[in-house]
Amino acid sequence: MSTTTPAWERVQLARKADRPHSLDYVNALINGFVELHGDRRHSDDPAMIAGIGAFNGRTVMAIGHQKGSNTRENLDRNFGMPNPDGYRKALRIFRHAEKFGFPLICFIDTPAADPGLGSEERGQATAIAENLLALASLRVPSVGVVIGEGGSGGALAISVTDRLLMLENAVYAVASPEACAAILWKDSNAAPQAAEALKLTAQDLKRFGIIDEIVPEPEPAHDASDATIQRTGEAIERHLGEIEAIADRPAGIDRLLELRYEKYRGIGAWVDEQEELIGELPVGVPGTSTPESTSD
């Protein structure tokens, strides 16, 4: 694919139903993969898969959003949108990996976290937040790969990893282009413009330093499934090898956690204009705070 492919086209490619999904990667890359089910709280969420197996000779735990390849599968998998049970299953697997010292590999491919009534009742926001907290200080090496759609907090909840990779035609943004268009353009038909403005392609995110590597797709993944999966496996191995080398030194895990903290601590684009802001905040100064409703 060319580097000038429009963002909207990438979105279409990232969403292709016949693009390889998490289980395709896991089954091809992880030998003797045993899928583990359930959050031990409420249910087993088919939109999130998890398990244990051997990746290039070492035991790893793998987690991924799971989309379907057709409508029937997608209905079963809730289009890859996990509910809180899915995120709590992931959390159980994080802890499991930590307990046994197994590296963690995450495959990210979701339009969003499930926005349903039951999800709200069981604390969707809390479930995602707890995963972010757990991943920030998880004492094992971790690699994440955005293989298709990286949709907002639902994607982030399994992607706060030491290394974050992205397939060339994958996308990752805070909201879907349709939702962004509906809110800021007041017109969901403006999704192509919104996709462009959201800077959601792997090329943009590499430039911003948010991801560590782009896994190339000389042919789009849906046309070259095996080659894409193999190339992804090689990239995961390279990064996992690097961070394992850090982790294996004395106090290496602490160093790894420090690096992980710095990685996410450093993401942001801001300036300090302290000098230019001479105005004092009127709070805490008696008599200067006024109710806004009269003047606003």
Partner 1 sequence: MPDFFRRKPTFNREDVSAEDGPVVPDGLWVKCQKCKDLVYSKDFERWFRVCPKCDFHARLSASQRIEYVLDSGSFEEWDRGIVTSDPLEFSANGDVYREKVKSTTRKAGQPEALVTGRGRIRGYDAAVAVTEFRFLGASMGSAFGEKFARVVERAVDQRLPFISISNSGGARMHESTFSLMQMAKTTAALSRLGEHKLPHISVLTDPCYGGVTASYAMVADVIIAEPGAMVGFAGPRVIEQITRQKLPDGFQTAEFLLEHGMIDMISRRSELPGTLSLLLLHYADAFLGRHQPGYAMSGQSRNGEAR
Q: Considering only residues 37, 42, 96, 199, which one is a binding residue for partner 1 as defined by CB under 8 A?
A: 199
CB neighbour class for 275 (10 Å; exposed up to 12, middle 13-18, buried from 19): exposed
- Residue 198 binds partner 1, judged by CB under 8 A: yes
Residues 6+ apart with CB under 8 A from 275: none
How many residues interact with partner 1 (rule CB under 8 A)? 71
Rg (C-alpha) for the chain, rounded Å, is 21
The whole-angstrom separation of Cα 22 and Cα 66 is 6
Residue of 220, 215, 257 whose CA lies nearest to 239 = 215
Chain residues 207-226 in contact with partner 1, contact rule CB under 8 A: 208, 210
- Residue 1 binds partner 1, judged by CB under 8 A: no
Q: Considering only residues 174, 216, 225, 242, which one is a binding residue for partner 1 as defined by CB under 8 A?
A: 174
- What single DSSP character describes residue 201? B
Chain residues 113-132 in contact with partner 1, contact rule CB under 8 A: 113, 115-117, 119-126, 128-130, 132
Q: Considering only residues 17, 54, 183, 227, which one is a binding residue for partner 1 as defined by CB under 8 A?
A: 183
CB neighbour class for 99 (10 Å; exposed up to 12, middle 13-18, buried from 19): exposed
Q: Considering only residues 17, 54, 75, 136, which one is a binding residue for partner 1 as defined by CB under 8 A?
A: 136
Chain residues 55-74 in contact with partner 1, contact rule CB under 8 A: none
- Residue 206 binds partner 1, judged by CB under 8 A: no
Which residue lies nearer to partner 1 by CB, 29 or 180? 180
Tell me how far, at minimum, the Cβ of 274 lies from partner 1, in Å: 3
**Spatial contact of 154 and 113, defined as CB atoms under 8 Å apart:** yes
- Residue 173 binds partner 1, judged by CB under 8 A: yes
Q: Which stretch binds partner 1 (CB under 8 A): 21-29, 43-51, 102-110, 270-278?
A: 270-278
**Spatial contact of 148 and 67, defined as CB atoms under 8 Å apart:** yes
HSE-up of residue 23 (Cα within 13 Å, Cβ side): 15
Which residue lies nearer to partner 1 by CB, 122 or 231? 122
- Residue 287 binds partner 1, judged by CB under 8 A: no
Which residue lies nearer to partner 1 by CB, 100 or 208? 208
The whole-angstrom separation of Cα 158 and Cα 164 is 11
